[in-house]
């Protein structure tokens, strides 16, 4: 799937209301996108605060094994 970058988020009332992500479009494990979003948050903000908020918003517990796998896998491309 695609890499989620901060610059393509839409904000309304100081909240994220949507984003555009068309790169590598297709059907895949949702954790592929989640992993790359986590990597982007870490690179941009240098804190886990927003990662915690991201998972709270998604309503899921992070699967760090899958997240780390997809981050490493993406380094090959």
Number of domains into which the chain is organized: 1
Q: Does residue 57 lie in a domain region?
A: yes
pLDDT tens digits for 10-53? 777 877 777 666 566 667 788 998 998 999 888 888 888 889 98
The answer to whether residue 1 sits within a structural domain is no
Q: Domain range holding 41?
A: 8-75
Coil, helix or strand at residue 71: helix
User: What tokens appear for 28 in the block?
Assistant: 């895949």
Residue 42 lies in a domain: yes
Task: Flag whether 3 is in a domain.
Answer: no
- The whole-model pTM stands at 0.67
pLDDT of the residue at 1: 42
∠ CA(45), CA(36), CA(18), 5° rounding?
75
């Amino acid at each position: 799937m695609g890499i989620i970058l901060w610059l393509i988020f839409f904000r309304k009332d100081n909240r994220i209301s949507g984003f555009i992500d068309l790169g590598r479009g297709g059907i895949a494990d949702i954790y592929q996108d989640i992993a790359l979003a986590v990597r982007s948050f870490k690179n941009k903000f240098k804190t886990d605060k927003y990662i915690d908020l991201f998972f709270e918003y998604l309503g899921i517990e992070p699967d760090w094994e899958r997240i780390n796998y997809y981050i490493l896998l993406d380094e090959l491309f």
